[in-house]
Structure 1
Amino acid sequence: MSFRYIGDSGEDETMNQQLEIENVSGQSVVPVLSFSALDKNHQVLPQVKVSTVYGSDRGNLVAAYGTSVDILRFSGPGEHEVADVRVTVQSTAAARIPAGMHEVTTQALDSQGREITRFERFSKVRLTNEDDFPVFVRVAYIVWDQPPKGVTQQAVEVTAVGGLTVVPPHGTAVVKVTGDAAAAVARSSNGPAVSIKAYDSQ
Protein backbone atom coordinates (compact mmCIF):
# COMPACT_ATOMS: atom_id res chain seq x y z
CA MET A 1 0.00 0.00 0.00
CA SER A 2 1.11 3.56 -0.66
CA PHE A 3 -0.32 6.87 0.48
CA ARG A 4 -0.60 10.50 -0.59
CA TYR A 5 -1.82 13.37 1.55
CA ILE A 6 -3.71 16.16 -0.22
CA GLY A 7 -4.27 19.13 2.05
CA ASP A 8 -6.06 21.24 -0.54
CA SER A 9 -6.47 20.09 -4.14
CA GLY A 10 -7.20 23.62 -5.31
CA GLU A 11 -10.50 22.47 -6.81
CA ASP A 12 -13.81 23.89 -5.63
CA GLU A 13 -16.19 21.53 -3.81
CA THR A 14 -13.33 19.12 -3.09
CA MET A 15 -12.82 17.98 0.49
CA ASN A 16 -9.60 19.08 2.19
CA GLN A 17 -7.18 16.93 4.20
CA GLN A 18 -7.69 13.80 2.10
CA LEU A 19 -5.55 10.69 2.36
CA GLU A 20 -5.32 8.74 -0.90
CA ILE A 21 -4.76 5.03 -0.30
CA GLU A 22 -3.28 3.08 -3.21
CA ASN A 23 -3.91 -0.65 -2.82
CA VAL A 24 -2.10 -2.87 -5.33
CA SER A 25 -2.79 -6.18 -3.59
CA GLY A 26 -5.45 -7.22 -6.11
CA GLN A 27 -8.18 -7.48 -3.47
CA SER A 28 -10.07 -5.29 -1.02
CA VAL A 29 -8.35 -4.98 2.34
CA VAL A 30 -9.06 -3.56 5.78
CA PRO A 31 -6.07 -1.53 6.98
CA VAL A 32 -5.27 -0.23 10.43
CA LEU A 33 -3.06 2.83 9.96
CA SER A 34 -1.28 5.24 12.28
CA PHE A 35 -0.10 8.72 11.43
CA SER A 36 2.54 11.29 12.30
CA ALA A 37 1.82 14.89 11.35
CA LEU A 38 4.65 16.70 9.53
CA ASP A 39 5.29 20.41 8.99
CA LYS A 40 6.44 22.00 5.73
CA ASN A 41 10.03 20.97 6.49
CA HIS A 42 8.91 17.36 7.02
CA GLN A 43 9.61 17.60 10.74
CA VAL A 44 7.27 15.71 13.05
CA LEU A 45 4.74 17.80 14.96
CA PRO A 46 4.71 15.70 18.14
CA GLN A 47 1.74 17.38 19.81
CA VAL A 48 -0.60 17.04 16.85
CA LYS A 49 -2.99 14.10 17.07
CA VAL A 50 -4.15 12.64 13.75
CA SER A 51 -7.47 10.81 13.45
CA THR A 52 -9.70 9.84 10.53
CA VAL A 53 -13.29 10.35 9.44
CA TYR A 54 -13.87 6.96 7.77
CA GLY A 55 -11.82 4.87 10.17
CA SER A 56 -8.69 3.67 8.38
CA ASP A 57 -6.98 4.08 11.77
CA ARG A 58 -9.33 1.61 13.45
CA GLY A 59 -10.23 -1.02 10.85
CA ASN A 60 -13.51 0.58 9.81
CA LEU A 61 -12.69 1.40 6.17
CA VAL A 62 -12.49 -1.18 3.39
CA ALA A 63 -9.84 -0.07 0.89
CA ALA A 64 -10.68 -1.13 -2.64
CA TYR A 65 -8.15 -2.51 -5.08
CA GLY A 66 -6.86 0.66 -6.69
CA THR A 67 -7.40 4.03 -5.02
CA SER A 68 -9.63 4.87 -2.08
CA VAL A 69 -9.83 7.86 0.23
CA ASP A 70 -10.08 8.74 3.90
CA ILE A 71 -10.26 12.20 5.47
CA LEU A 72 -7.80 13.24 8.17
CA ARG A 73 -8.47 15.38 11.25
CA PHE A 74 -5.78 17.19 13.24
CA SER A 75 -5.94 18.42 16.82
CA GLY A 76 -3.48 19.87 19.32
CA PRO A 77 -0.80 22.57 19.28
CA GLY A 78 0.47 23.00 15.71
CA GLU A 79 -2.62 21.55 14.01
CA HIS A 80 -2.66 24.37 11.44
CA GLU A 81 1.01 23.77 10.56
CA VAL A 82 0.44 20.28 9.11
CA ALA A 83 1.76 20.06 5.54
CA ASP A 84 2.04 16.28 5.16
CA VAL A 85 1.67 13.04 7.10
CA ARG A 86 3.77 9.93 7.59
CA VAL A 87 1.67 6.78 7.43
CA THR A 88 2.50 3.52 9.20
CA VAL A 89 0.58 0.33 8.36
CA GLN A 90 -0.12 -1.40 11.66
CA SER A 91 -1.98 -4.31 10.07
CA THR A 92 -4.02 -5.33 7.05
CA ALA A 93 -6.60 -8.06 6.59
CA ALA A 94 -8.51 -9.30 3.58
CA ALA A 95 -11.97 -7.74 3.54
CA ARG A 96 -14.89 -10.09 4.07
CA ILE A 97 -16.88 -7.99 1.59
CA PRO A 98 -15.24 -6.50 -1.54
CA ALA A 99 -15.39 -2.73 -1.90
CA GLY A 100 -17.16 -1.18 -4.87
CA MET A 101 -15.32 0.00 -7.95
CA HIS A 102 -17.28 3.26 -8.01
CA GLU A 103 -18.10 5.69 -5.24
CA VAL A 104 -21.60 5.22 -3.82
CA THR A 105 -23.34 8.56 -4.28
CA THR A 106 -25.63 10.20 -1.74
CA GLN A 107 -28.78 12.28 -2.16
CA ALA A 108 -30.58 14.06 0.69
CA LEU A 109 -34.36 13.51 0.80
CA ASP A 110 -37.13 15.14 2.81
CA SER A 111 -39.73 13.19 4.78
CA GLN A 112 -41.83 12.77 1.61
CA GLY A 113 -38.89 11.35 -0.33
CA ARG A 114 -38.30 14.48 -2.41
CA GLU A 115 -34.74 15.44 -3.35
CA ILE A 116 -33.37 18.42 -1.41
CA THR A 117 -29.90 19.84 -0.88
CA ARG A 118 -27.54 18.55 1.79
CA PHE A 119 -27.68 22.00 3.41
CA GLU A 120 -31.36 21.59 4.31
CA ARG A 121 -32.93 19.59 7.13
CA PHE A 122 -33.20 16.21 5.43
CA SER A 123 -34.88 13.07 6.80
CA LYS A 124 -33.38 10.35 4.61
CA VAL A 125 -30.36 9.67 2.43
CA ARG A 126 -30.63 7.76 -0.85
CA LEU A 127 -27.56 5.74 -1.77
CA THR A 128 -26.87 4.75 -5.40
CA ASN A 129 -24.55 1.93 -6.47
CA GLU A 130 -23.23 1.90 -10.06
CA ASP A 131 -21.48 -1.46 -9.72
CA ASP A 132 -22.91 -4.77 -10.88
CA PHE A 133 -22.52 -6.35 -7.44
CA PRO A 134 -23.86 -5.34 -4.00
CA VAL A 135 -21.73 -3.05 -1.84
CA PHE A 136 -21.69 -2.46 1.90
CA VAL A 137 -21.28 1.12 3.08
CA ARG A 138 -21.60 3.42 6.05
CA VAL A 139 -22.70 7.04 5.80
CA ALA A 140 -21.10 10.03 7.54
CA TYR A 141 -22.60 13.50 7.98
CA ILE A 142 -19.63 15.87 8.11
CA VAL A 143 -19.66 19.45 9.34
CA TRP A 144 -16.66 21.51 8.20
CA ASP A 145 -15.06 24.55 9.78
CA GLN A 146 -14.60 27.90 8.02
CA PRO A 147 -10.84 28.56 8.24
CA PRO A 148 -9.03 31.71 7.18
CA LYS A 149 -7.45 31.84 3.74
CA GLY A 150 -4.41 29.59 3.47
CA VAL A 151 -5.59 27.12 6.14
CA THR A 152 -7.13 23.80 5.12
CA GLN A 153 -10.77 23.16 5.93
CA GLN A 154 -11.22 20.56 8.64
CA ALA A 155 -14.03 18.19 9.61
CA VAL A 156 -15.08 19.46 13.04
CA GLU A 157 -18.06 17.16 13.59
CA VAL A 158 -18.69 13.69 12.14
CA THR A 159 -21.92 11.79 12.81
CA ALA A 160 -22.88 8.33 11.56
CA VAL A 161 -26.16 8.12 9.65
CA GLY A 162 -27.66 4.67 10.18
CA GLY A 163 -25.41 1.62 10.26
CA LEU A 164 -23.84 -0.75 7.75
CA THR A 165 -26.07 -0.65 4.67
CA VAL A 166 -26.25 -2.96 1.66
CA VAL A 167 -26.81 -1.20 -1.65
CA PRO A 168 -27.92 -3.61 -4.39
CA PRO A 169 -26.20 -3.83 -7.78
CA HIS A 170 -27.19 -0.95 -10.08
CA GLY A 171 -29.68 -0.01 -7.39
CA THR A 172 -30.46 2.21 -4.46
CA ALA A 173 -31.02 2.00 -0.73
CA VAL A 174 -32.53 4.60 1.60
CA VAL A 175 -31.17 5.29 5.09
CA LYS A 176 -33.35 7.10 7.63
CA VAL A 177 -31.86 9.97 9.61
CA THR A 178 -32.60 9.34 13.29
CA GLY A 179 -31.11 9.86 16.76
CA ASP A 180 -27.73 11.60 16.85
CA ALA A 181 -27.75 12.09 13.09
CA ALA A 182 -31.13 13.87 13.17
CA ALA A 183 -29.85 16.12 15.97
CA ALA A 184 -26.69 16.93 14.00
CA VAL A 185 -28.68 17.77 10.87
CA ALA A 186 -31.00 20.00 12.90
CA ARG A 187 -28.02 21.88 14.34
CA SER A 188 -26.14 22.33 11.10
CA SER A 189 -28.83 22.62 8.42
CA ASN A 190 -28.70 25.89 6.52
CA GLY A 191 -25.03 26.10 7.46
CA PRO A 192 -22.32 26.82 4.90
CA ALA A 193 -20.28 23.62 4.81
CA VAL A 194 -21.58 20.08 5.23
CA SER A 195 -21.07 16.81 3.35
CA ILE A 196 -22.93 13.51 3.22
CA LYS A 197 -20.44 10.81 2.28
CA ALA A 198 -20.73 7.04 1.88
CA TYR A 199 -17.67 4.84 2.30
CA ASP A 200 -16.98 1.11 1.99
CA SER A 201 -17.00 -0.73 5.30
CA GLN A 202 -17.85 -4.06 6.84
Structure 2
Amino acid sequence: MSPTAASATPHRYVGKLSFAYHGARPEKETINQALDIHNDDQQSVVPALAFTALDKHHTVLSQVKVTTVYGSDRGNLVVPYGYGMDILRFSGPGAHQVADVRVRVVSVVPARIRAGVHDVSVQPLDGQGRKVDKFSRFTALRISNVDDFPVAIRLAYLVYDQPPEGQTQQAVVVVPVGGLIHVPASGTAMVKVTGAAAAAVARYSNGPAVSIKPYNSQ
Protein backbone atom coordinates (compact mmCIF):
# COMPACT_ATOMS: atom_id res chain seq x y z
CA MET A 1 0.00 0.00 0.00
CA SER A 2 1.11 3.53 -0.56
CA PRO A 3 -0.55 6.64 0.93
CA THR A 4 -1.93 9.39 -1.23
CA ALA A 5 -1.19 12.84 0.18
CA ALA A 6 -4.16 15.20 0.26
CA SER A 7 -3.86 18.94 -0.29
CA ALA A 8 -4.35 19.54 3.43
CA THR A 9 -1.12 17.68 4.23
CA PRO A 10 1.88 20.00 4.85
CA HIS A 11 4.40 19.54 2.06
CA ARG A 12 7.25 18.45 4.31
CA TYR A 13 5.24 15.42 5.48
CA VAL A 14 4.54 14.06 2.01
CA GLY A 15 6.19 10.66 1.76
CA LYS A 16 7.07 10.56 5.48
CA LEU A 17 4.32 8.06 6.33
CA SER A 18 3.88 4.57 4.88
CA PHE A 19 1.52 1.77 5.82
CA ALA A 20 1.11 -1.99 5.85
CA TYR A 21 -2.12 -3.82 6.68
CA HIS A 22 -2.06 -7.25 8.32
CA GLY A 23 -5.35 -9.13 8.50
CA ALA A 24 -3.52 -11.79 10.50
CA ARG A 25 0.13 -12.51 11.19
CA PRO A 26 1.72 -15.97 11.25
CA GLU A 27 2.88 -15.52 14.85
CA LYS A 28 0.52 -16.62 17.60
CA GLU A 29 -1.09 -14.13 20.01
CA THR A 30 -0.79 -11.21 17.59
CA ILE A 31 -3.43 -8.60 16.82
CA ASN A 32 -5.63 -9.15 13.78
CA GLN A 33 -6.68 -6.32 11.46
CA ALA A 34 -3.62 -4.27 12.39
CA LEU A 35 -2.31 -1.27 10.48
CA ASP A 36 1.45 -0.68 10.77
CA ILE A 37 2.33 3.01 10.42
CA HIS A 38 5.94 3.86 9.57
CA ASN A 39 6.98 7.44 10.30
CA ASP A 40 10.23 8.62 8.72
CA ASP A 41 9.93 12.09 10.19
CA GLN A 42 12.28 12.83 13.08
CA GLN A 43 9.44 13.82 15.39
CA SER A 44 6.16 12.41 16.65
CA VAL A 45 3.20 13.27 14.41
CA VAL A 46 -0.60 13.14 14.49
CA PRO A 47 -2.14 11.86 11.25
CA ALA A 48 -5.75 11.87 10.14
CA LEU A 49 -6.22 8.96 7.74
CA ALA A 50 -9.01 7.80 5.45
CA PHE A 51 -9.46 4.13 4.51
CA THR A 52 -10.94 2.21 1.60
CA ALA A 53 -11.61 -1.51 2.09
CA LEU A 54 -10.40 -3.90 -0.63
CA ASP A 55 -11.10 -7.58 -1.27
CA LYS A 56 -8.49 -10.21 -2.19
CA HIS A 57 -8.61 -9.05 -5.82
CA HIS A 58 -8.02 -5.43 -4.68
CA THR A 59 -11.55 -4.52 -5.74
CA VAL A 60 -13.10 -1.74 -3.67
CA LEU A 61 -15.72 -2.89 -1.16
CA SER A 62 -17.81 0.25 -1.36
CA GLN A 63 -20.32 -0.75 1.34
CA VAL A 64 -17.70 -1.55 3.97
CA LYS A 65 -17.04 1.16 6.52
CA VAL A 66 -13.54 1.25 8.04
CA THR A 67 -12.99 2.74 11.50
CA THR A 68 -10.13 2.52 13.97
CA VAL A 69 -9.61 1.64 17.62
CA TYR A 70 -6.86 4.17 18.40
CA GLY A 71 -8.20 7.03 16.31
CA SER A 72 -5.77 7.47 13.42
CA ASP A 73 -8.87 8.28 11.34
CA ARG A 74 -9.75 11.26 13.56
CA GLY A 75 -6.43 12.72 14.73
CA ASN A 76 -6.41 10.92 18.07
CA LEU A 77 -3.24 8.80 17.67
CA VAL A 78 0.31 10.08 18.09
CA VAL A 79 2.81 8.16 15.94
CA PRO A 80 6.44 8.28 17.10
CA TYR A 81 9.45 8.48 14.83
CA GLY A 82 9.90 4.96 13.48
CA TYR A 83 6.83 2.84 14.02
CA GLY A 84 3.28 3.06 15.33
CA MET A 85 0.12 1.07 14.78
CA ASP A 86 -3.65 1.11 14.90
CA ILE A 87 -6.34 -1.59 14.88
CA LEU A 88 -9.00 -1.47 12.16
CA ARG A 89 -12.69 -2.37 12.41
CA PHE A 90 -14.94 -3.23 9.47
CA SER A 91 -18.71 -3.03 9.25
CA GLY A 92 -21.37 -3.28 6.55
CA PRO A 93 -22.06 -5.77 3.73
CA GLY A 94 -18.83 -7.47 2.70
CA ALA A 95 -16.97 -6.79 5.96
CA HIS A 96 -15.65 -10.36 6.11
CA GLN A 97 -14.27 -10.07 2.57
CA VAL A 98 -11.71 -7.40 3.45
CA ALA A 99 -8.19 -8.52 2.53
CA ASP A 100 -6.41 -5.16 2.36
CA VAL A 101 -7.01 -1.43 2.75
CA ARG A 102 -6.05 1.65 0.81
CA VAL A 103 -4.85 4.51 3.01
CA ARG A 104 -5.12 8.20 2.23
CA VAL A 105 -3.36 10.79 4.36
CA VAL A 106 -5.88 13.57 4.94
CA SER A 107 -3.63 15.65 7.21
CA VAL A 108 -0.57 15.40 9.43
CA VAL A 109 0.53 17.79 12.18
CA PRO A 110 3.41 17.72 14.69
CA ALA A 111 2.43 16.19 18.02
CA ARG A 112 2.21 18.50 21.03
CA ILE A 113 3.39 15.66 23.26
CA ARG A 114 6.26 13.39 22.27
CA ALA A 115 5.31 9.73 21.94
CA GLY A 116 7.11 7.21 24.11
CA VAL A 117 10.09 5.31 22.73
CA HIS A 118 8.94 2.22 24.61
CA ASP A 119 5.38 1.02 25.12
CA VAL A 120 4.01 1.63 28.59
CA SER A 121 3.05 -1.46 30.59
CA VAL A 122 -0.45 -1.91 32.01
CA GLN A 123 -1.10 -3.89 35.19
CA PRO A 124 -4.74 -4.60 36.20
CA LEU A 125 -5.48 -4.47 39.94
CA ASP A 126 -8.43 -5.70 41.96
CA GLY A 127 -10.31 -3.81 44.68
CA GLN A 128 -7.60 -4.63 47.23
CA GLY A 129 -4.79 -3.43 44.97
CA ARG A 130 -3.62 -6.94 44.13
CA LYS A 131 -2.30 -7.83 40.69
CA VAL A 132 -4.77 -9.73 38.50
CA ASP A 133 -4.79 -10.61 34.82
CA LYS A 134 -6.66 -8.80 32.06
CA PHE A 135 -9.38 -11.47 32.01
CA SER A 136 -10.34 -10.77 35.62
CA ARG A 137 -12.76 -8.21 37.06
CA PHE A 138 -10.28 -5.43 37.80
CA THR A 139 -11.05 -2.01 39.30
CA ALA A 140 -7.87 -0.07 38.54
CA LEU A 141 -4.91 -0.05 36.16
CA ARG A 142 -1.32 0.84 36.98
CA ILE A 143 0.54 2.36 34.02
CA SER A 144 4.36 2.23 34.03
CA ASN A 145 6.63 4.33 31.83
CA VAL A 146 10.28 3.29 31.41
CA ASP A 147 11.24 6.29 29.25
CA ASP A 148 13.15 9.16 30.86
CA PHE A 149 10.55 11.70 29.73
CA PRO A 150 6.80 11.98 30.46
CA VAL A 151 4.27 10.51 28.04
CA ALA A 152 0.54 10.85 27.42
CA ILE A 153 -1.57 7.81 26.59
CA ARG A 154 -5.14 6.63 26.34
CA LEU A 155 -6.48 3.18 27.18
CA ALA A 156 -9.02 1.01 25.41
CA TYR A 157 -10.72 -2.10 26.78
CA LEU A 158 -11.36 -4.43 23.84
CA VAL A 159 -13.58 -7.46 23.41
CA TYR A 160 -12.89 -9.60 20.34
CA ASP A 161 -15.23 -11.87 18.43
CA GLN A 162 -14.62 -15.57 17.82
CA PRO A 163 -14.78 -15.84 14.01
CA PRO A 164 -15.02 -19.02 11.94
CA GLU A 165 -11.84 -20.55 10.54
CA GLY A 166 -10.35 -18.36 7.83
CA GLN A 167 -11.81 -15.06 9.05
CA THR A 168 -9.92 -12.41 11.00
CA GLN A 169 -10.71 -11.62 14.61
CA GLN A 170 -12.29 -8.22 15.14
CA ALA A 171 -12.67 -5.93 18.13
CA VAL A 172 -16.46 -5.85 18.48
CA VAL A 173 -16.52 -3.82 21.71
CA VAL A 174 -14.19 -0.85 22.28
CA VAL A 175 -14.57 1.10 25.52
CA PRO A 176 -12.25 3.94 26.64
CA VAL A 177 -10.83 3.65 30.15
CA GLY A 178 -10.39 7.11 31.65
CA GLY A 179 -9.30 10.06 29.51
CA LEU A 180 -5.87 11.32 28.54
CA ILE A 181 -3.42 9.87 31.06
CA HIS A 182 -0.11 11.62 31.80
CA VAL A 183 2.58 9.22 33.01
CA PRO A 184 5.72 10.79 34.51
CA ALA A 185 9.24 10.04 33.36
CA SER A 186 10.39 6.66 34.72
CA GLY A 187 7.21 6.60 36.79
CA THR A 188 3.69 5.28 37.14
CA ALA A 189 0.11 6.51 37.03
CA MET A 190 -3.06 4.95 38.46
CA VAL A 191 -6.34 4.89 36.58
CA LYS A 192 -9.65 4.00 38.22
CA VAL A 193 -12.03 1.89 36.11
CA THR A 194 -15.42 3.58 36.29
CA GLY A 195 -18.59 4.19 34.29
CA ALA A 196 -18.91 2.42 30.94
CA ALA A 197 -15.48 0.82 31.35
CA ALA A 198 -16.44 -0.74 34.70
CA ALA A 199 -19.70 -2.02 33.19
CA ALA A 200 -17.81 -3.60 30.29
CA VAL A 201 -15.29 -5.26 32.60
CA ALA A 202 -18.12 -6.62 34.75
CA ARG A 203 -19.87 -8.01 31.69
CA TYR A 204 -16.94 -9.47 29.77
CA SER A 205 -14.45 -10.48 32.49
CA ASN A 206 -13.51 -14.17 32.48
CA GLY A 207 -14.25 -14.24 28.76
CA PRO A 208 -11.82 -15.73 26.25
CA ALA A 209 -10.93 -12.66 24.21
CA VAL A 210 -10.46 -9.38 26.05
CA SER A 211 -7.52 -7.00 25.97
CA ILE A 212 -6.34 -3.69 27.45
CA LYS A 213 -4.51 -1.56 24.92
CA PRO A 214 -2.57 1.66 25.62
CA TYR A 215 -1.71 4.04 22.80
CA ASN A 216 0.07 7.38 22.47
CA SER A 217 -2.31 10.31 22.23
CA GLN A 218 -2.68 13.99 23.10
What is the TM-score of this pair, normalised by structure 2? 0.91
The one of 101, 107, 114 aligned to 2:130: 114
Question: 1:1-202 alignment to 2 at 5 Å?
Answer: 1-202=17-218
DSSP-derived class of the 1:151 partner: coil
Ranges in structure 1 where 5+ consecutive residues have no aligned partner: none
Instruction: Point out 4+ residue stretches in structure 1 off by more than 6 angstroms.
Output: none
Q: Give the conservation status (yes or no) of the 8 Å contact 1:105–1:197.
A: no
Q: CA deviation at 1:149?
A: 1.0
One-letter identity of the residue aligned with 1:72: L
Identity of aligned residues (%): 65
- Secondary structure at 1:30 match in 2: strand
CA distance in 2, matches of 1:22, 1:105: 22
User: 1:21: how far off?
Assistant: 0.4
Larger radius of gyration: 2
Unaligned 5+ runs, structure 2: 1-16
1:144 is displaced (CA, Å) by 0.4
In 1, Cα distance between equivalents of 2:57 and 2:172 = 26
Shift of 1:77: 0.7
Identify the residue that residue 3 of structure 2 maps to in structure 1: none
Give the superposition deviation at 1:10.
2.0
Give the SS at the match of 1:26.
Answer: coil
CA displacement, residues 27-73 of structure 1 (integer Å, 9 cap, x when unaligned): 10110000000111111110000000000000100011110010000
Q: How far apart in 1 are the matches of 2:178 and 2:130?
A: 19
Measure the CA separation in 2 of the matches of 1:131 and 1:187.
34
Aligned length: 202
**Residue identity matched to 2:147:** D
Give the Cα separation in 1 of the matches to 2:133 and 2:204. Answer: 13
* Distance (whole Å) between structure 1 residues aligned to residue 209 and residue 96 of structure 2: 19
Partners of 1:157 and 1:83 lie apart in 2 by 21
Structure 2 counterpart of 1:150, which letter? G
Name the amino acid aligned to 2:122: T
- The answer on whether the counterparts of 1:8 and 1:16 sit within 8 Å (CA) in structure 2 is yes
Residue 202 of structure 2 aligns to which amino acid in structure 1?
A
1:106: how far off?
Answer: 1.0
| CA RMSD, Structure 1 to Structure 2 (Å) | 0.7
The 3-state SS of whatever aligns with 2:60 is: coil
Amino acid at match of 1:69: M
Letter in 2 for 1:183: A
Amino acid at match of 1:83: A
